[in-house]
């Protein structure tokens, strides 16, 4: 006979919604809300040019990493600060560390010290400085990857005959 974990064991519970089980049984809202977008967190511009439908699904379900990525894209790439801050705050409100960190730093830089301090305190930065340092490192890496991705996009357009004015904007 088969083991307790064999395919013939119909008493096993596959309704947990994990990737290891059968994802077709998972509620789509739960799936997109809890989807790990670490690849895109590390390279947010990858989500700018591709994966639009995927990004919108994750945003509509409230995925905190999707809101973090969208906030970075809106604030830094599109220069839409209000829209970017809205997404970053949603990420921070969902207690996503990188969202909390970047939102609090932006609030401090914009002169909204009470809001910035309130969110920065969520990271327990006074007692756990390693957590804040980890967030800073991740933000720096995202920025470095953004520059590399921008170079790839520029080279793609240049090879397709686009004018060199693209680089100056």
Looking at the domain covering 26-150, what would its CATH class be?
Answer: mainly alpha
Could you tell me where the DSSP H helices lie in the chain? Answer: 28-34, 38-42, 46-49, 52-60, 64-72, 81-93, 97-109, 113-121, 129-159, 165-168
pLDDT for residue 166: 39
Place of tokens 């004018």: 163
Q: What is the pLDDT of residues 75-118, one digit of tens each?
A: 988 889 999 999 999 999 999 988 998 899 899 889 999 999 99
Q: What is the pTM of this model?
A: 0.59
Q: What is the pLDDT of residues 110-157, one digit of tens each?
A: 999 999 999 988 888 777 777 767 777 766 666 555 555 445 444 544
- With a CB cutoff of 8 Å and minimum separation 6, the contacts of 69 are 37, 40, 41, 44, 47, 55
pLDDT band at 51 (very low <50, low <70, confident <90, very high): confident
pLDDT for residue 144: 57
Classify the C-alpha dihedral 38-47-102-139 as positive or negative: positive
């Amino acid at each position: 006979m088969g083991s307790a974990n064999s395919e013939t064991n119909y008493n096993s519970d596959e309704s947990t919604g994990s990737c290891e089980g059968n994802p077709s049984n998972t509620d789509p809202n739960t799936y997109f809300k809890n989807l790990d977008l670490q690849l895109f967190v590390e390279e947010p511009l990858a989500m700018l040019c591709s994966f639009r439908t995927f990004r919108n699904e994750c945003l509509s379900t409230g995925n905190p990493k999707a809101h973090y990525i969208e906030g970075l894209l809106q604030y830094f790439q599109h220069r839409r600060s209000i829209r970017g801050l809205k997404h970053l705050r949603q990420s921070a409100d969902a207690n996503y560390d990188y969202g909390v960190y970047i939102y609090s730093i932006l609030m401090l830089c914009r002169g909204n010290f009470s809001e910035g301090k309130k969110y920065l305190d969520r990271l327990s930065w006074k007692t756990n400085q390693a957590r804040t340092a980890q967030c800073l490192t991740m933000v720096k890496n995202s920025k470095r990857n953004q520059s590399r991705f921008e170079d790839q996009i520029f080279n793609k357009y240049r090879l397709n005959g686009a004018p060199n004015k693209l680089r100056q904007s």
